[in-house]
Amino acid sequence: MDPLPQDVPPNSGAAGEADSAVGPRTPSPLKLAIRKARLEEAERSEVIAELRGAETARLEMLEEELRPALADIPRDVDMFDIGLVPGDRPRLFIDMIGFVEMGRDRRTYHFVQATRYGRVTIAESERMEPIISAVVDYVARRLIEREKALAGDTTLEQAASVYVDARKTRTKMPAAAEAPPPPSPRPGILRRGIAFVIEILGSAVLFALVTIGVVNAWRLVSTWLASLH
């Protein structure tokens, strides 16, 4: 007898032929869009990193040129601390409120001072020489402002010292040495006479008003009594 044929699922051969004909599945539109966005983000990050590196290099060159120009700042002045601060926008700080940064074109230097009313652009140029000159002038003005502030503080201290010394001197003086206060002036005879006349007239006017009131009240009462009879 012939062997029995093995059980074969129906349409199995047709399904296998169909799968082999279709081949690997194509990615969905969403996966393609995500892949494209990742590639664009990587390219953009590389461009940004290159631009940021170029900005940092330009500011480092400016810092190297500035340090010899500002070498004469007194050692006891700690208000200037030149240093490059990296970040999304690298900045070369001159002091707490003045700094240099690159413009949108990544080529122009902008020397900016932060004030209470906003930022003020002191100088801008594609060359380093005008920026170096502007920074030197800025440092000189700030040093003059510092000298004026210190002079004002010294003047206030001297005035306070003089006031304290004078107060101590007055405190040490004996009480008998102090002159008595001048007597207060007394009102003259004419002023007292005028005040007396005004007082008499006021009393007379008040008495007259009271008398007129009593008379009018008596008339009203008499009229009312007469009307009753």
Question: Could you give the percent of the chain with pLDDT greater than 70?
Answer: 69
Domain assignment present for 219: no
Domain assignment present for 91: yes
Hunting for tokens 């007194």 — which residue is that?
A: 74
Domain holding 59, by residue range, is: 47-138
Domain assignment present for 222: no
What is the token pair recorded at 7? 């059980």
Domain assignment present for 126: yes
Domain assignment present for 228: no
Domain assignment present for 27: no
How many domains does the chain contain in total? 1
Classify residue 183 as left (phi > 0), alpha (psi -120 to 50) or beta.
beta
Q: In this predicted model, which residue has the larger pLDDT, 39 or 87?
A: 87
Contact 90, 102 (CB under 8 A): yes
| Digit-coded pLDDT (tens) for 64-83 | 999 888 888 888 888 888 88
Domain assignment present for 202: no
Domain assignment present for 75: yes
Is 0.75 surpassed by the pTM of this model?
no
Q: What is the pLDDT of residue 121?
A: 92
d(CA 100, CA 94): 8
Give every CB contact of residue 124 below 8 A, 6+ residues apart in sequence: 103, 108, 109, 110, 111, 131
Band of the pLDDT at 197, cuts 50, 70, 90?
confident
Q: What is the pLDDT of residue 24?
A: 60
Classify residue 39 as left (phi > 0), alpha (psi -120 to 50) or beta.
alpha
| Digit-coded pLDDT (tens) for 144-173 | 988 888 887 666 566 667 667 777 776 766
CA angle 208, 211, 195 (to 5 degrees): 25
